[in-house]
Amino acid sequence: MSNTFGNKLKITTFGSSHGDAIGGVIDGFPQGIEVDFEEICRELQRRKTGNFAFSSQRKESDEVTFLSGIDEGMTNGFPIAFFIKNNNYRSRDYTDIKDVFRPSHADFAYFKKYGTDDFTGGYRASGRETTSWVVAGNLAKQALAKHGIGFVSYVSQIGQECETAHYTDLNLSFTPHNALPTPNPQTADRMLKAISQAQADNDSLGGVVTCIVTGVPYGVGNPVFDKLSSRLAAAMLSIPSSKGFDYGKGFDASSMRGSEHNDLFVNDHGKLRPATNRSGGIQGGISNGEDIYFRVAFKPVSSIGKPQQTVDIHGNNRTIAIGGRHDVCIVPRVLPVVESLAALVILDLML
């Protein structure tokens, strides 16, 4: 099992919701970055709540302790180790479903691979793991901010409610403390209604995140195997529940003709650049100086309150209902995770 992410900038994570603590070690982080600890806390809060009334009732006290790598608020170029204590909860203490394979949950795959008899709770793979990603990723964002690189993301779809406008037509400086982190209030309303309805039905919803990275210089990424697009895809498909990734026009590009899709190069007052950005800021795997934008698709949360048929470890038919304890829709909470992984990838490729 690999617990390390990145090449020159490596984060190795440890721990799970079952043990004493989770955390990570970040190796290769640049020296001399002043750390805004408040921002890390805000990001963890954002990951925990999605700034969003419908999020899970679970309480996580995400107080980060840094053990090394930061001297007087400044990174020193040595490994940054951090941990976050777990409050003593077990994510599946409800013993009645201890041996039951939750529909569409990874329980079954873990059980088949590792054969553990207590396969519950997700162990290392639980959503809680992403807390460590956000700590590391926010540090990366802070380092990238010195280079003028910024990250914005929003919920562009929840269930069947989509934000159809292109990001360039949206107000991306929407307050992140919105009821739902999406720029268009009308869309937010429709999404919130869909969520209320799903909640009333003891059901869950999938969705899509759109992320935009601004200010990335030319030349990030490599032409053969270590393409920026490839690295972003790998990162995004590491997020629990993610099912797809595309960038630029993405899947829509497939139905276009070359003459429609091509970005024509122009001389923009002495600066050579593409006049349009259907490519999404990456050509041949390498950033071209334009905004990078991409989408990540998430399936609906598999744990729902509605009763479902399944089997237990012994092959007996069982009915299961996992209500009340889980998010109806995980997508709003996933925004800082998407941004964090993107930041780790981009910083890694810039080192």
Residue with tokens 């994510």: 91
Of 36-44, 48-56, 179-187, 258-266: span binding a copy of itself (CB under 8 A): 258-266
> Going residue by residue from 173 to 212, which x/- string records binding to a copy of itself, judged by CB under 8 A?
-------------------------x--x-xxxxxx----
- Identify residues 41-80 at the interface with a copy of itself (CB under 8 A): 66-69, 71, 77-80
DSSP character at residue 225: S
Q: Pick one of 64, 136, 213, 304: the residue that binds a copy of itself (CB under 8 A).
A: 304
Q: Which is nearer to a copy of itself, 137 or 248 (CB)?
A: 248
Shortest Cβ distance from residue 105 to a copy of itself (Å)? 7
Q: Pick one of 187, 247, 292, 338: the residue that binds a copy of itself (CB under 8 A).
A: 247
Q: Is 255 in the site for a copy of itself (CB under 8 A)?
A: yes
> Looking at beta carbons, which pairs linking 219-222 to residues 24 or more positions away fall under 8 Å?
219/286, 219/287, 220/286, 220/287, 220/346, 220/349, 220/350, 221/282, 221/285, 221/286, 221/287, 221/349, 222/285, 222/286, 222/349
Q: Which is nearer to a copy of itself, 2 or 173 (CB)?
A: 2
Residues touching a copy of itself, count (CB under 8 A): 131
Query: Which residues pair with residue 85 across a beta bridge?
Result: 21
Tokens of 220: 């990030």
Distance CA 295, CA 9 (A): 24
Q: Pick one of 32, 148, 284, 323: the residue that binds a copy of itself (CB under 8 A).
A: 284
Q: Pick one of 95, 171, 173, 317: the residue that binds a copy of itself (CB under 8 A).
A: 317
Tokens of 177: 């403390």
Residue 36 has a CB neighbour count (10 Å cut-off) of 15
- Based on its alpha-carbon atoms, the radius of gyration of the chain, rounded to whole angstroms, reads 21
Distance CA 257, CA 95 (A): 56
Q: Which is nearer to a copy of itself, 177 or 314 (CB)?
A: 314
- Identify residues 1-30 at the interface with a copy of itself (CB under 8 A): 1-5, 10, 12-16, 18-23, 25, 27
Q: Are the C-beta atoms of residues 127 and 241 closer than 8 Å to each other?
A: no
Q: Is 246 in the site for a copy of itself (CB under 8 A)?
A: yes
Shortest Cβ distance from residue 304 to a copy of itself (Å)? 4
Q: Which is nearer to a copy of itself, 103 or 215 (CB)?
A: 103
- Identify residues 215-244 at the interface with a copy of itself (CB under 8 A): 218-219, 222-227, 229-238, 240, 242-244
Shortest Cβ distance from residue 108 to a copy of itself (Å)? 6
Distance CA 219, CA 207 (A): 32
Q: Is 316 in the site for a copy of itself (CB under 8 A)?
A: yes
Query: Which residues pair with residue 23 across a beta bridge?
Result: 14, 83
Q: Which is nearer to a copy of itself, 44 or 331 (CB)?
A: 331
Contacts of 13 (CB under 8 A, 6+ apart): 3, 5, 22, 23, 24, 129, 132, 133
Q: Pick one of 53, 74, 165, 256: the residue that binds a copy of itself (CB under 8 A).
A: 256
- Identify residues 97-116 at the interface with a copy of itself (CB under 8 A): 101, 103-106, 108-110, 112-113
Q: Which is nearer to a copy of itself, 93 or 173 (CB)?
A: 93
What are the C-alpha distances in Å from 281 to residues 83, 159, 218?
35, 28, 9
